[in-house]
Structure 1
Amino acid sequence: MRGLALVPYNTKIDFVGMRYIVYAFSILIILLSFGSLMFKGLNLGIDFKGGFLIEIRTSEKPDLAAMRSKLQKLELGEVKLQEFGDEHDLLIRIERQKGNEQAQAIALQKIKKTIGDNVDYRRVETVGAKVSQDLIQNGILAVIFALVGMLVYIWIRFEWHFGLCGILALIHDAIAVMGFYSLFNFEFNDTAFISILTTIGYSINDSVVIYDRIRENLRKYKKTPIADVINLSTNETLSRTILTVGTTVMSLLALCFFGGHVIRAFCIPILVGIVFGAFSSIFISANLLLFFNVRKKLAHAEEA
């Protein structure tokens, strides 16, 4: 008795035969992403542009929606409200304004006038460019360390060529997510790096499952051409991949539709990344193994 299978048993989709079309599509995505990043850039948020950080305490529990609406009417740019600590404590972040320090002071006066005098201002700070630059550097280092760590893990568990192919697919996914932020003008803030890390973590999980089945089938079918082994392995794991991706996508769609503006802005890039991650795991990471003599290298490793 078989479990739930979204893909019919003995499916024989020719993934290897479609590889050149997939490579062309992936190159197009990468070129579009790089082009948008070079000529359009990223819509940097408060965390990377700098701005105001205001901590207040109210006598009653604050109405976040009403306060956000009032502050947005000032047309000072991005506004972030965050509850922390006690339910009466509120953290307000507003992006840095164009102009000199006088422009910043005028904007701060407008903010205080809108919030009102019936609150206790616990802290008022200005986030400068130096802090923003440190955040960007730390985020980039986090992505690089994650990629290197996954490369080492796959190298140890399989062989170096599996690790290289997996990392190339992950770089493709990371560039696609960055391109999405740039093309659709999504705010690139501290959560953007979370989206990228979530994408590469999810993608490598699918790739490892397919790699494991490829290694198993290479030992099982010793005279079968490597292209046929890749097709067989990808088809055998296709139901699992679609089921995993499908349940994740449904959860993210629910958050996008019912989670409000803040959660939606966080979930949509992750949703895009999950789709690209599944695409690269099925169509790219396994097919890249065709550039290596995998069967011979595996045989030498087993002999050693």
Structure 2
Amino acid sequence: MTTTRVHLPAVAAAFALALLPTLVSAQPVDRGPAVAGAPARPVGPRPPERPPTARSWSGLVRFGNAYDSNIDQNETNHQAFGVILGTGVQYVDDPSDPSVQFTYETGLHRYGGTDRWNRVSHYARGQVTQDLPWRWAKLDVIGELSLKGTTEERELSNQANVTPRLNLRLSRRNRLRVLAAWRERRYDDAARDASNRYVGTEFSHRGGQGREWTIEARVERNHAASNRYDWDRFTWGGEYVVPLGRRGRLELELKYRRVLYTSRTVEINDEDVLRRDHRWTPTIVWRHAITPMTELRLGYTRDSRDSNDVRRDFAADQALFGITRRF
């Protein structure tokens, strides 16, 4: 891990108004990779955004200023400002109707006042889409690999994912997605290394004037090298997207996760009981296309965990200002 400290200028705080996604997300995320501490996206990775050109290959650069009021997610409430620089390439075989897609991004992360989160991350994602005999159904398979990225729990790890998805067009405006995933995670602490499985579903509705809402549900099981880190998790979420003017849009998201540990206990009233966590993550993001190839992103996330192990309770405010340039 890099130990270089960076003293960020005060102006970084003024710009830290939204959360830049880390170049690696456990859920592959989904509208591009996310920066450390960023909330994970809805169930199942979403295809990377493509530039509005007919070229098969394209590149991008990212810049962001980030702020986290509790970057270590504990009672110390350690605040940190950060700078994220990233670059990457994307490929689609047919921009109008892609059947093969590939993305690679790498990012440099530097935070003031902490060494733990200073790193270089890597993220690679491939997707193959196959039309089925029925016009209303498609099948795609997504593979992802991330190094020094963040999981949905905002923890540093290396991770490999394989996610098959069945996409069903129920009507002109309604879509249903059913998916499953296999994930392997590796941490600095070998006891936490885990195989992770989940199944989930998403339902989305496209309204008039570009409005869209999505609801999701997921059931997940984590098997770790040490049973102390074995757990079952249930996720429910919703997202609403509305256009703002000709070039902008507002994204509102709320996610709730309930984690049930299968072996880890906590003492309550002189009795050992299994640990239970509840986590709420509301997010608001504003995107604006400065030019057809340049996007501005501002966002805010409130991340909080309530546990019957009071030592694990925490709350954090995360904000970021980010710009992405495609070429």
- TM-score, scaled to structure 1: 0.26
- Per chain length, whose mean CA-contact separation is higher, i.e. which structure has more relative contact order (CA < 8 Å, sep 6+)? 1
Structure 1 or 2: larger strand share?
A: 2
